[in-house]
Amino acid sequence: MTVATKAINVFIADPLSEDGIAPLRQQTGLDLNIIVDTGLTQDELISKIADVDVLLVRSQTTVNREVIQAATNLKLIGRAGVGVDNIDLTAATERGIIVVNAPDGNTNSAAEHTIAMMTSLARHIPQAFNTLQNGKWDRKSYVGVELKNKTLGVVGFGRIGVEVAYRAKGSRMNVLAYDPFLTEERAQELGVTKATVDEICEQADFITVHTPLLPETRNMINKDKFAIMKDGVRVINCARGGIINEDDLYDAIVAGKVAGAALDVFIEEPAVGHKLLTLPQVIATPHLGASTIEAQESVAVDVSNDIIKFFNTGTVTSPVNMPSIPKEKLAQVEPFFALAEQLGKFLIQVTGEAVKELNVSYAGEVANYDVRPLTANAIKGLFSTKQGTHVNDVNARYLAEQIGIQINEHKTTTAKGFTSLITIEVKTENETHTVSGTLLNGLGARIVKVEGFGVDVKPEGTILYVKNTDKPGAIGRLATKLAEKEINIATMQVGRSEVGGQAVMLLSVDNAVATEDIAYVTELENIDEVKAINL
């Protein structure tokens, strides 16, 4: 995908573990120029990133559309952590900028922090210490509750949610879990009870949220949910500010419904002076869930390795805005990349009108593989005539859909005599065109069908696509005319529907020509259309 030819500028905008970025500093195969410049305002960041190839952040730096637009060289955004709600993924995807994160590196730390917060909440540890520091030995005010035999509701049962549940079970809590992807079997396997959010609200003594911040999870815990909770419930948010509505939480605490809240995250951070922090029932930390030596080293190592991998191979381990395909699976489809792109490139030059629909069919062996990167390559081919559009695996589908191209993938195991066959069909308002290609053992890529007619053409160089009526003399007249213009035919393939019917010729020629340069051949008898396809 990306081949580095000059120094790669890596801009680290948030504090990262020095040990964690050691893979970047120590690697020798790439010419990396590492710039560490943290704590910048948005304007300062914007003024410094025009030449940046890689932007590395944690949660402090907001990578919004403006930042992305200013970073005209940007190829990759690395998030040393999980949440990517501080990154405008749409803006990055539009530009074909890959976003990677480190999904596993801080799971343990975040889970441990959640348990620490829950225990501190149950036993008023921060408040009690505070009084002690202020010279009071107050034992009466800080009578807590046990965790044992209490019910913990976990909303969002992904990596951290599951780890929290394990630990809560160690404290002998009953765990209710909600996640759209949680199956009954998995719940049983993990020793938790699958529940709805409402069931959690109604039954839990402690509720902890571990979802990403998404439109569907924003304000997920709101006044309606507080209303159905048990009196004296305690809530914990070590995921993202906004999943629990902050105003509704404040009101529920003041009303005595909620006995306490432990918060590591806030809608606006830093949250200094936040009204929730004025309540004695609230304990809080300044977004410390992932702040351990181990987690910071681990997440930074993971993104560093993905940066190196990207510039070496064009693939990454933890993409956020493109399909994540394991290396072995990618290797199965990699041989077809160029073919899929060439077929797309071929068809867009045959097609005279705006494409409305793209159907990509995979037949035979290739149909057993994860073909999403192949469809992306076919789309890349379709965009090849659109000057100035940078299309890659990240933005191909997005760009196509943006301009109203409907994309369909079909798979069938029968490939009619070929081991694998890829067929691309494009539909416009008035036309439908198809081309099929395959990889021939030892011979490389071939176009084997055009508009349903069998042919055998290498998808390379200049190919003349000629539609003619199958009448004697048509081919001869065409060959003579091209010879007069010193256009040498290397190979010629003719496909026809029936004798005397519509035919399609594919002529590989030695000269690079444009359709306008050879428009004269359409004046010949029985030659209906000609297009110069440059692959």
Ligand X SMILES: O=C(O)[C@H](O)COP(=O)(O)O
Among 270, 153, 157, CA closest to 203: 153
CB of 87 to ligand NAD, least distance (A): 12
What does the per-residue mask of binding to ligand NAD show for 273-292, with x meaning CB under 6 A?
Answer: --------------x-xx--
The closest alpha carbon to 535, from 388, 292, 340, 365, belongs to 340
Cα–Cα dist 267/255, whole Å: 22
- 108 vs 438 by CB, closer to ligand NAD: 108
Alpha carbons 371 and 332: distance in angstroms, whole number: 9
Task: Using DSSP, state whether 258 is helix, strand or coil.
Answer: strand
x-or-dash string of contact with ligand X, 282-321, rule CB under 6 A = -----x-xxx------------------------------
Q: Is 82 in the site for ligand X (CB under 6 A)?
A: yes
Site for ligand NAD in 173-212 (CB under 6 A): 178-181, 210-212
Residue of 464, 436, 437, 463 whose CA lies nearest to 451: 436
Q: Among 57, 82, 450, 521, which residue interacts with ligand NAD (rule: CB under 6 A)?
A: 82
- Give the Cα separation of 126 and 117 in Å (integer): 10
Q: In 3D, which of 355, 421, 359, 407 has the Cα closest to residue 383?
A: 355
**How is the beta sheet containing 432-440 ordered, strand by strand?**
406-412, 357-364, 420-427, 432-440, 444-450, 453-457
Site string for ligand NAD, 90-129 (x = CB under 6 A): -------------x--xx--x-------------------
What is the footprint of ligand X within residues 90-119 (CB under 6 A)?
106
502, containing H or E segment: strand 502-509
Phi-psi region of 124 (alpha: psi -120 to 50; beta: other; left: phi over 0): left
Site residues (CB under 6 A) for ligand NAD, limited to 136-165: 155-161
Closest distance to ligand NAD from the beta carbon of 190 (Å): 12
**Pairwise CA distance, residues 200 & 409, whole Å:** 40
Closer to ligand X at the Cβ: 111 or 147? 111
511 DSSP assignment: S
Provide, rounded to whole angstroms, the least separation between the CB of residue 270 and ligand X.
12
Q: Which does 58 bind (CB under 5 to 8 A by kind): ligand NAD, ligand X, none?
A: ligand X
From the list ligand X, ligand NAD, none, pick the one residue 16 interacts with, judged by a Cβ distance below 5 to 8 Å according to partner type.
Answer: none
Q: Quick check: 477 binds ligand NAD (CB under 6 A)?
A: no
Q: Which does 160 bind (CB under 5 to 8 A by kind): ligand NAD, ligand X, none?
A: ligand NAD
158 binds, among ligand X, ligand NAD, none (CB under 5 to 8 A by kind): ligand NAD
- Minimum distance from residue 220 beta carbon to ligand NAD (Å): 7
β-strand partners of 423: 361, 436
Q: Which is nearer to ligand NAD, 51 or 104 (CB)?
A: 104
CB nearer ligand X, residue 96 or residue 241: 241
Of 29, 501, 7, the residue nearest 305 (C-alpha): 29
User: How many C-beta atoms surround the C-beta of residue 458 within 10 A?
Assistant: 17
Cβ neighbours around 37 below 10 Å, total: 13
297, 267 Cβ separation under 8 angstroms:
no
Cα distance between residue 531 and residue 456, in whole Å: 18
Binding status of residue 225 toward ligand NAD by CB under 6 A: no
Among ligand X, ligand NAD, none, what does residue 78 contact (CB within 5–8 Å per kind)?
none
| Rounded Cα–Cα distance for residues 33 and 304 (Å) | 13
Contact 96, 392 (CB under 8 A): yes
The verdict on 395 binding ligand X (CB under 6 A) reads no
Instruction: Report the catalytic residues.
Output: 240, 269, 287
Instruction: Please tell me the distance from the alpha carbon of residue 154 to that of residue 276, in angstroms, as a whole number.
Output: 22
Per CB under 6 A, the list member of 238, 283, 330, 363 interacting with ligand NAD is 238
Residue 308: CB minimum distance to ligand X, A: 20
Distance in Å, CB of 10 to ligand NAD, minimum: 23
Which residues bind to ligand NAD, rule: CB under 6 A?
82-83, 103, 106-107, 110, 155-161, 178-181, 210-214, 216-217, 238-240, 264-265, 287, 289-290
Residues that bind ligand X (CB under 6 A): 58-59, 80-83, 106, 287, 289-291
